[in-house]
Every structure is written in structure tokens, then in C-alpha cells.
Amino acid sequence: MLEALAAERKDNIPVEARDHIKMFHYYFFSLDPDDKVIQSNISKALYLADGSAKQQYENLKENSYYSNIIAGNISQQILVDSILVDVSQYPYYFKCVAEQKIIRPSTIVTRSLTTEGYLRNVARSDNNPHGFLIEKWKTIENNDIKTENR
């Protein structure tokens, strides 16, 4: 029975890894002008990653990013375009390409976002159902594509 479970895990690693990365990005970048929503989503994201994500969060917080979202009635959404996961080497390298929408009362800004990092195996839990931890996460591109007036 244990062999069957191990084989099943190995076969599902690319699928589970992509979903783990997608959910992390969803929680980290889906924000509304509500402190409770922001705290809830960031908290969920930080269970899925190491100190590299916490450091980015702390930097954004220190630069008043989250309080500006609340003060400016800004919502932020993310749509993941693609996730590449290299399972040939461990820890598994990944690259995530996404589009961010920053919705302000007067404009909608669309940005291209590319991040990368590594996944390592950890114990599964209610807070981390896929049993991966994102490490050495960094943004390699975050550029405006277009701005629309509302």
C-alpha cells in the first residue's frame, strides 16, 4: 500500500506543484481595501512559502503598500497565465507568469508579473494541503502593460 501511495505522489507532483504555486500567488496578490481580507490572504500565502515571501510582505508593509490599498479603495487581482515546474532536480525550480489587475476608482492598471523560486517537500497540513514550501521566491518582472480610465 505504501508503494502505491508513493507512486501516486510522484505522478501527481507536477499537478500539485502548479496548484500550490497558483494558490500562493492568488493569496499573496488578491487584495481588497479591507484589512481583514488582506491579513487573511497574506496569512494563507505565508503558510505556503518560506521567509523570502515574508520578507517581500514586510517590505510592502513597511512601504505602506497595504494601507495605501485600503486608503485608496484599490482592489488587486491576479490571473496566472502559466507555471513551469522542473521536477527533474530537487528542490524543484518554478517560474510563474501572471497578469495583475490593479483596480482603482479612476483607472485599471494591468501589469505583467513573473516570479521564480523553488519548491521543497514538507508535511501536508490543513494550512498546506499539497505539502510543498516555496523557497527563494523573487519577482523577476513586474511591469505596467496598459492603463484604462474608468
Q: Is a pLDDT exceeding 70 seen at residue 102? A: yes
Note the pLDDT of residue 5: 52
Assess whether pLDDT exceeds 70 at residue 57: yes
Give CA–CA dist 98/34, Å, rounded: 23
> What is the span of the domain harbouring residue 87?
2-149
Q: Does the pLDDT value for residue 37 go beyond 60?
A: yes
Task: Locate all alpha helices (DSSP H) within 1-64, ordered by sequence.
Answer: 2-29, 35-46, 51-62
pTM for the full predicted model: 0.92
Query: What CATH number does residue 128 fall under?
Result: 3.10.450.230
Counted domains in the chain: 1
**Whether pLDDT at 73 is above 70:** yes
Q: Given this model, what pLDDT does residue 61 score?
A: 96
20 φ/ψ angles, rounded to the nearest 5 degrees: -60, -45
Query: Which of the four pLDDT bands, split at 50, 70 and 90, describes residue 11?
Result: confident
Question: What average pLDDT is seen over the chain?
Answer: 94
CA-nearest of 149, 144, 131, 140 to 12 is 131
Distance (Å, whole) CA 85 – CA 75: 29
- DSSP secondary structure, 82-145, as one string: EEEEETTSSSEEEEEEEEEEEE-SSEEEEEEEEEEEEEEE----SS-TT-EEEEEEEEEEEEEE
| Percentage of the chain lying above the pLDDT 90 cut | 92
